[in-house]
C-alpha cells in the first residue's frame, strides 16, 4: 500500500513539474515574441489612390467611426471578458456574414462617409479564421495600425490563439502621411505580454487652398483596466491634440473611448453593479473651445454578457462610449448614432458632419 501511494505521489509531482515547465516555457516564449512597438512609427498605406483630391475647404465633411468588433461580435455573440463564454466567432461563415453587413452599412447605403475610422479590425487572427478584414474594408487611401498582436493568447478555454488586430483609417481623399503613436500600457508582466498595446493612428490630410492640415486621429482606449490606464491614455491624447492645434491645424479625434460621454449614464444607467462600467468623460476635460461630438439618442455599445436580447431589460446593458473630439476650428453640423440593432457588431456606428471653419 505504501508503494502504491508513493507511486501516486511521484506521478503527481511529475505532472506538477510538467505543468510548471509548460507554463514557464509558454511565458518565456510569449515574453520573447511580445509586440513592442516604438513610441512613434511611420505607417505605410496598403491601399492608395493616385491623384486623390485634397479635402474641400468650406464644405461639409462626413465622418464615420465604428468599432466593428472584429466582425465576430454581432447580435448572436457574447464575450468572455463581459461575462459571456466566447472569445471568437462561431465559424468563418459567421465572420463573413458580419463583415458583409459592415461593408454594406459603410459603402452601400446612403452615408457615403468621406473619412472612415474603424476599430478592432483583424488582419490575421485565429478568432476570425485568418480573414484579412482590413483589405476588405479599406478603399481609396487606407492605413492600419496594430494595437493587438500576439502569436498565442492562452485564455480563455479554448484559447483565443493568434491575434493581429487594430485600427483602420480609410478615405477617398488625399493623405500626406500617417503615424502610429503608442499609448501608455497599464499592465505589467506577465499580463502585458499577451495584452493590447493601445495607440493612436494619426493621418495628416491636405486641405484645398490651405497650408493647414486636417489631423485625423483614430483611437481605441483601454477597456478592462482599473481606470488609471484610461486616464493616462486620455491625457496623452489631449496633449497631442492640443499640440497639433497649436500648429494651426484642424483636429478631429474619433473612436471608442471606453468612457461614457457626458450624460451617458443618465440616459443609459448601469442596471447591475456587477456589469462592466466605463470610465467617465466630462466637459471640463477639454480646453476652452474644444468640444465632444456624440449622441445620447441611441446607445453606441452593448454589453457582451449574452447574445443580444433587447427584451431582457435585466441583463441587457447599453453605453455611449463612441464619439469624437473636435478642435475649436471644426464646426459640428450633425451627429447621429446609427441604430443597427447591433446586428453585425456590439457597437453602433457614429456618423457626424462637420465643416472646417476659417
Whether the link from the prior residue into 240 is cis, omega within 30° of 0, is no
pLDDT mean over 229-238: 94
pLDDT for 195: 93
Task: Report the Cα–Cα distance between both ends of the chain, in Å, rounded.
Answer: 91
At residue 233's C-alpha, the angle toward residues 276 and 77, to 5°, is 35
Q: What residue spans of the chain are helical by DSSP H?
A: 2-32, 92-107, 133-137, 228-246, 264-267
pLDDT for 1: 57
Mean pLDDT of the chain: 92
Beta bridge partners of 182: 199
pLDDT for 10: 66
Pick the closest to residue 140 from 121, 113, 108 (CA basis). Answer: 113
Q: Which three cell numbers stand for residue 59?
A: 464644405
Residues 328-340 pLDDT 10s: 999 999 999 999 9
Q: Phi/psi zone of residue 218: left (φ > 0), alpha (ψ -120 to 50 degrees), beta?
A: beta
Spatial distance between the Cα atoms of 274 and 272, rounded to a whole number of angstroms: 5
pLDDT band at 150 (very low <50, low <70, confident <90, very high): very high
pLDDT exceeds cutoff 90 at 217: yes
pLDDT exceeds cutoff 80 at 22: no
Q: Which three cell numbers stand for residue 79?
A: 464575450
pLDDT for 23: 63
2 φ, ψ (degrees, to nearest 5):
-60, -40
pLDDT band at 101 (very low <50, low <70, confident <90, very high): very high
pLDDT exceeds cutoff 90 at 295: yes
pLDDT band at 278 (very low <50, low <70, confident <90, very high): very high
323 φ, ψ (degrees, to nearest 5):
175, -155
pTM: 0.94
CA distances (Å), 236 to each of 182, 221, 222, 285, in order?
A: 9, 11, 13, 12
Cβ proximity of 216 and 354 under 8 Å: no
Q: Would you state the CATH architecture of domain 38-356?
A: 4-Layer Sandwich (3.60)
Residues 166-214 pLDDT 10s: 999 999 999 999 999 999 999 888 889 989 999 999 999 999 999 999 9
pLDDT mean over 315-326: 98
Residues 2-12 pLDDT 10s: 555 565 666 66
The domain ranges of the chain are: 1-32, 38-356
Pick the closest to residue 223 from 265, 267, 259 (CA basis). Answer: 259
Amino acid at each position: 500500500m505504501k508503494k502504491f501511494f508513493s507511486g501516486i505521489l511521484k506521478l503527481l509531482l511529475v505532472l506538477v513539474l510538467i505543468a510548471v515547465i509548460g507554463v514557464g516555457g509558454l511565458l518565456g516564449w510569449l515574453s520573447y515574441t511580445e509586440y513592442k512597438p516604438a513610441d512613434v512609427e511611420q505607417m505605410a498605406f496598403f491601399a492608395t489612390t493616385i491623384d486623390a483630391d485634397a479635402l474641400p475647404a468650406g464644405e461639409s465633411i462626413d465622418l464615420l467611426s465604428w468599432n466593428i468588433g472584429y466582425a465576430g461580435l454581432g447580435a448572436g455573440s457574447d464575450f468572455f471578458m463581459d461575462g459571456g463564454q466566447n472569445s471568437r466567432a462561431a465559424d468563418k461563415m459567421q465572420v463573413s456574414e458580419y463583415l458583409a453587413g459592415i461593408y454594406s452599412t459603410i459603402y452601400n447605403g446612403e452615408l457615403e462617409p468621406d473619412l472612415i475610422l474603424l476599430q478592432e479590425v483583424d488582419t490575421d487572427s485565429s478568432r476570425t479564421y485568418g480573414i484579412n478584414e482590413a483589405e476588405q474594408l479599406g478603399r481609396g487611401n487606407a492605413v492600419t495600425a496594430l494595437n493587438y498582436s500576439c502569436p498565442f493568447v492562452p485564455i480563455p478555454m479554448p484559447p483565443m490563439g493568434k491575434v493581429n488586430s487594430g485600427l483602420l483609417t480609410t478615405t477617398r481623399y488625399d493623405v500626406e502621411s500617417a503615424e502610429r503613436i503608442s499609448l501608455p500600457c497599464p499592465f505589467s508582466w506577465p499580463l502585458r505580454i499577451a495584452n493590447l498595446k493601445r495607440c493612436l493612428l494619426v493621418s495628416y490630410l491636405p486641405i484645398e487652398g490651405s497650408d493647414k492640415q486636417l489631423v485625423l486621429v483614430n483611437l481605441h482606449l483601454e477597456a478592462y483596466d482599473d481606470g488609471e490606464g484610461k486616464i493616462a491614455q486620455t491625457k496623452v491624447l489631449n496633449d497631442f491634440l492640443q499640440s497639433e492645434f497649436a500648429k494651426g491645424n484642424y483636429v478631429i479625434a474619433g473612436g471608442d473611448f471606453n468612457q461614457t460621454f457626458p450624460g451617458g449614464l443618465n440616459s443609459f444607467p448601469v442596471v447591475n453593479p456587477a456589469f462592466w462600467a466605463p470610465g467617465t468623460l466630462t466637459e471640463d476635460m477639454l480646453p476652452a473651445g474644444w468640444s465632444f461630438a456624440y449622441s445620447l439618442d441611441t446607445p453606441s455599445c452593448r454589453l457582451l454578457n449574452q447574445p443580444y436580447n433587447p427584451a431582457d431589460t435585466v441583463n441587457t446593458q447599453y453605453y455611449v462610449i463612441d464619439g469624437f473630439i473636435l478642435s475649436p476650428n471644426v464646426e459640428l453640423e450633425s451627429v447621429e448614432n446609427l441604430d443597427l440593432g447591433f446586428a453585425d457588431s456590439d457597437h453602433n456606428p457614429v456618423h457626424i458632419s462637420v465643416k472646417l471653419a476659417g
